[in-house]
Structure 1
Amino acid sequence: MKLFNGNRQAFALPKFEKTREVPLPATVSKELKDHLKRNPAVAVTLPWKDTDGPPTTVNLIITSRERKALNRNYFNPFIWKKALEKAGVPDERDNGCHMLRHVYASTLLHDGESIKAVSEYLGHSDPGFTLRTYTHLMPGSDKRTRKAVDSLLGVTRV
């Protein structure tokens, strides 16, 4: 979704007009199905690509109280920041919604997903960019390193 002057919205493809397909774990699929049983998707019509674009109707799974497309200028201060406060997480730039993307990428890499796959899931054209941007030492990396070297040397530790 794009946001224009005057808080006007339009549906649009993501940055660089790249669509993404990511594997959906069964647990997430179940939660999504449960959510949709309690809160059915809402048909919302907005212009396509810019404020003068052709009207396009999409079923949204999360909407505003008025059953309209959720605007980030409402979501960030009134939903996201209140959730941070309730969870005791500092309201800092590093804890914005974009942080969820970083956590997703770092978690996949930490658990052994290939840099190429993570790069594709994030819509990056260069896996090197993904590697430079989203990796860092995660808790337990020292232990995994020792285990990998032990394994290479044929050492079994209990």
Structure 2
Amino acid sequence: MAQTAHPPRVSYDPRTPNRNQIIQSPENRGNLTYQRMIFGNVSSIFNAAVDDDFVIKNPCRARSVRAPKKDTPKVVPWTAERVEAVTDALPERYKITAIQGAGLGLRQGEIFGLSPDDVDFLGRSVAIRRQVRLFTNGSMAFRLPKGGKSRTVPLPQSVALALSAHIQKFPPVAVTLPWDTPEGKPLTVELIVTTPDGKALSRNDFNRYVWGPTLEEAKVERTSRADGMHALRHYYASVLLDAGESIKAVSEYLGHTDPGFTLRTYTHLMPSSAERTRKAVDAALSSCAPIVPREAAK
């Protein structure tokens, strides 16, 4: 009976640098993106080798092998001065988008999908019920916010005044889009922000023709995606954390499904225990009589 021929097993020379040695060489040790790319390529090669019976298993999938961690740069929030400069540089019609991002922590699609019916001026809250979703074919639809659930965020007085002024100057426009998918049931919503001809804002068009030129006018060098509209959301989170707001509350306001994600993203922005103590005592004593002797204050 004829035996099936198998390709010879691969032999390894111990003097040859192994995968981990190459990935973690001095020139690549700090570049996690490069490490993940190499690891993924090597794993793909071994998958092909398994399919062709050159090796029995893919060693990259062994329990003892850990893939390089994802390179997640720390969030560096914009300063209040930069937020103000960008807001001032935006066209009058779109200034409110920056205020919604920095003052309510909304995602870009949520800003585009906000309706005056979502704003409770008396109760000082905003219900985030939908976003404007852009699909790869260029079509748009209303959809639930990221994570598939709505949320409610506090409405600061400054944001309420800005929204009221914008609505008076640029009356909301009823826009009809399909719900959830391009083939979904049509839904008509009055939107706070639209194009001059009364259409829903497209993320791509807004970023290209409004946001990009605005950053140039404000002299903000856009070096990465971190300088997109999401920067306003990071600013919102940093303001809340600096004020001592809890991670749980910040996570709820941002619409994160996992508070742990919020903590991992913004933990480096949380004030230290010593700084919180200083602020708490200063706030408590700010209305009291001076406790520093006049002679010492001179």
Regarding TM over 0.5, the answer is yes
Partner residue, 1:13: 144
Partner AA of 2:196 in structure 1? R
Identity %: 53
Q: Secondary structure at the match of 2:151?
A: coil
Number of aligned positions between the proteins: 153
Q: Which has the larger radius of gyration?
A: 2
What is the alpha-carbon distance in structure 2 between the residues aligned to residue 145 and residue 120 of structure 1? 22
Partner AA of 1:52 in structure 2? E
Residues 10 and 46 in structure 1, CA contact (< 8 A), matched pair in contact too: yes
Runs of 4+ in 1 over 6 A off after TM superposition: none
Is 1:69 equivalent to 2:200 in the alignment? yes
Q: Alpha-carbon deviations, 1:28-47, whole Å to 9, x = none?
A: 10110010000000000010
Residues 141 and 177 in structure 2, CA contact (< 8 A), matched pair in contact too: yes
Partner residue, 1:49: 180
Partner residue, 2:159: 28
Partner residue, 2:249: 117
Partner residue, 1:132: 264
Give the CA RMSD over aligned residues. 2.5
Partner residue, 2:227: 95
TM-score (norm 2): 0.47
Partner AA of 1:51 in structure 2? P
After superposition, the Cα gap between the structure-2 partners of 1:116 and 1:18, relative to the gap in structure 1 and judged at 3 Å, is same
What is the alpha-carbon distance in structure 2 between the residues aligned to residue 45 and residue 146 of structure 1? 51
Residues 42 and 59 in structure 1, CA contact (< 8 A), matched pair in contact too: yes
Partner residue, 2:211: 80
Q: Alpha-carbon deviations, 1:99-137, whole Å to 9, x = none?
A: 111111111001111111101011122222101112324
Q: Which runs of 5+ in 1 are unaligned?
A: none
Worse-superposed segment, 1-10 or 32-41: 1-10
Q: Alpha-carbon deviations, 1:38-59, whole Å to 9, x = none?
A: 0000000010000111110001
Q: Which runs of 5+ in 2 are unaligned?
A: 1-131, 283-290
- Shift, 1:145, TM fit: 5.8
Q: Secondary structure at the match of 1:22?
A: strand
Partner AA of 1:85 in structure 2? E
TM-score (norm 1): 0.86
After superposition, the Cα gap between the structure-2 partners of 1:48 and 1:145, relative to the gap in structure 1 and judged at 3 Å, is closer
Q: Secondary structure at the match of 1:11?
A: strand
- Shift, 1:92, TM fit: 2.2
